[in-house]
Amino acid sequence: MFENLGVLSFWTYLAGVVLVIIVPGPNSLYVLKSSTSHGTRSGYRAVLGVLTGDAILIFLSFIGVASVINASPTLFMIVRYLGAAYLLYLGIKIIYATFFQKKSLTSGSEPAVIKSEKHFTRALVLSLTNPKAILFFISFFIQFIDFNYANAWIPYLVLASILEVISFIYLSLLIFSGYLIARFLREKQVLAKLGNCTIGALFMGFAAKLAIFSH
């Protein structure tokens, strides 16, 4: 069936995508943090940012821009350090807000000083500055596209749709998990702070790993 749409080894692709998506990373961690701290709406804004970022990277892969970035050590290094810097910024911001922001991060309502739009923007930036995501779309993703197919955009669209649907389902599970975690931690401020510090430290760890990631 999928071979008729220019897709090769569909089940292998499906299994690979599921494994890649469920491995913890900055995007999924940020979605979980958004829903835990600010509710399901903010979580879904973050999900929209992640899905939009993936769609943009797929389009860039389709037109060849991602391959150009990967082929240029300088451009790839710029993207890598931008991503590391942004992850470090988010980690520090989370830890700072945990101890110095007056309103509780687990109160279930978003502080007035944080605009809701930022959840989308931050998730989008996380996606677009992740060099491993770029490598995924130009090394793994394209292996399942039959470039002899008359309309190359069709298998791209099929594979992208599958990726986005699976991502949406998985991130939705994280959002509702975050909601339950937030309810549990609402009256347990010490545990809430410990959880926020752990997430902030993980972001900083991702930043350090990305900074030393070798091409």
Report if residue 214 sits inside a domain.
Answer: no
Please check whether residue 52 lies inside any domain of the structure: yes
Could you read off the pLDDT tens digit of each residue along the chain, which spans 215 residues? 777 888 888 888 888 888 878 877 888 888 888 888 788 888 999 999 999 999 998 888 888 765 666 667 777 777 777 767 877 877 787 777 767 765 443 444 444 334 444 889 989 988 888 777 777 777 677 778 887 788 878 888 999 999 999 999 999 998 988 777 666 555 566 666 666 677 677 767 777 776 775 54
Cα separation, 200 vs 82, whole angstroms: 18
Region of 160 (left: φ > 0; alpha: ψ -120 to 50; beta: rest) is alpha
DSSP letter at 195 equals H
Residue 206 lies in a domain: no
**How many folded domains does the chain comprise?**
1
Single out the residue of 15, 20, 6 nearest to residue 136, CA to CA.
Answer: 20
Residue 197 lies in a domain: no
**Distance between CA atoms of 47 and 182, rounded to whole angstroms?**
18
User: Is 199 within a domain?
Assistant: no
Full residue range of the structural domain in which residue 105 is found: 3-186
18 in any annotated domain = yes
Residues paired with residue 7 on neighbouring β-strands, in sequence order: 145
Q: How far apart are CA 48 and CA 41, in angstroms?
A: 11
Residue 172 lies in a domain: yes
pTM: 0.70
> What's the burial of 134, exposed, middle or buried (CB within 10 Å: 0-12/13-18/19+)?
buried
Contacts of 180 (CB under 8 A, 6+ apart): none
